[in-house]
Chains A and B, each alone.
Chain A
Amino acid sequence: MRIVAATKILKANDQIAAENRALLASAGVCCVNVVGSPGSGKTTLIEALLKHFAGRISAAVIEGDIAGSIDAERIAALGVPAVQINTDGACHLDAAMIAAALRELDLNGLQLLLIENVGNLVCPASFDLGEHLRIVVLSVSEGDDKAVKYPAVFQSAHALCVTKTDLLPYTNFSLPRITADIHRLNPRARCFEAAALRGEGVAAITEWLTEHLNAAKAGAKASAEK
Chain B
Amino acid sequence: MHELAIAEAVIEQVQRELNRAGQRGRVHRVELSIGRLSGVNCDSLRFAFDLLAPGTIVEGAALHINQPAATCVCSACGKRTAIEELVVACPACASEEISIEGGRDLLLQSVDVEGPCESSPPRKS
Contacts and interface: CB of A to CB of B under 8 A. Distances in A.
- Are A and B physically bound partners? yes
Interface of A: 1-13, 90-92, 94, 122-123, 125-127, 148, 151-153, 181, 184-185
Nearest to A7: B108
B108 A92 contact: no
Contacts of A13: 9
A3 B18 contact: yes
Contacts of A90: 2, 4-5
A91 B1 contact: yes
Interface string B8-21: 01101100111001
Interface residues on B, range: 35 or more
Given A92-B5, A122-B2, A4 B118 contact: no
B94 interface: no
A12 B17 contact: no
Chain A contact residues, majority secondary structure:
mixed
A9 B6 contact: yes
Contacts of A181: 88
A6 B105 CA distance: 10
B96 interface: yes
A57 B55 CA distance: 50
Residue of A3, A91, A94, A185 ringed by the most chain B CB atoms within 10 A: A3
Contacts of B96: 184
Interface of B: 1-2, 4-6, 9-10, 12-13, 16-18, 21, 23, 32, 37-40, 86, 88, 96, 98, 104-113, 115-120, 122-123, 125
Contact of B109 (A4, A91, A152): A4
Given A12-B12, A126-B39, A152-B38, A1 B120 contact: yes
B115 A1 contact: yes
A110 to B, nearest CB: 28
Contacts of B40: 126
B6 A126 contact: yes
B2 A123 contact: yes
A1 B111 CA distance: 8
B32 A9 contact: yes
A15 B107 CA distance: 15
Contacts of B4: 90
Nearest to A94: B5
Contact of B106 (A8, A92, A122, A184): A8
B111 A3 contact: yes
